Amino acid sequence: MIYVFSFYGFLSLVTFCFYGVDKSAAKRGKQRVPESTLHLLSLFGGWLGAMLGQKVFRHKTKKRRFLVVFWLTFLINISVTGYGLYYFSLS
């Protein structure tokens, strides 16, 4: 189980950094991080870093479509992880 939490922590840190890089690029008019990349990072476990990145950098907080997809990735991730932890705790 420690591996699961370590993975989530690492991917959250990576995702948080991607949000910071994207916000910086947006301010300077440089090439942005694709939204699909941000969503994939969230889906695969970086949702906590995404949440923190949205709050800390005030980034991607008003785009309704982006937020809907983000919350879907969050729900899918939590559901799959919860099921996995429950299933393996029974074994």
Tens of pLDDT, residue by residue over 29-88, are 999 999 999 999 999 999 999 999 999 999 999 999 999 999 999 999 989 988 888 887
Domain residue ranges of the chain, discontinuous segments joined by +: 2-90
**pTM score:** 0.90
How far apart are alpha carbons 23 and 7 in whole angstroms?
24
Amino acid at 36: S
Instruction: Give yes or no for residue 90 having a pLDDT over 90.
Output: no
Tokens, residue 8 = 């989530």
Q: For residue 17, give Cα distances in angstroms to 56, 81, 88.
A: 11, 23, 31
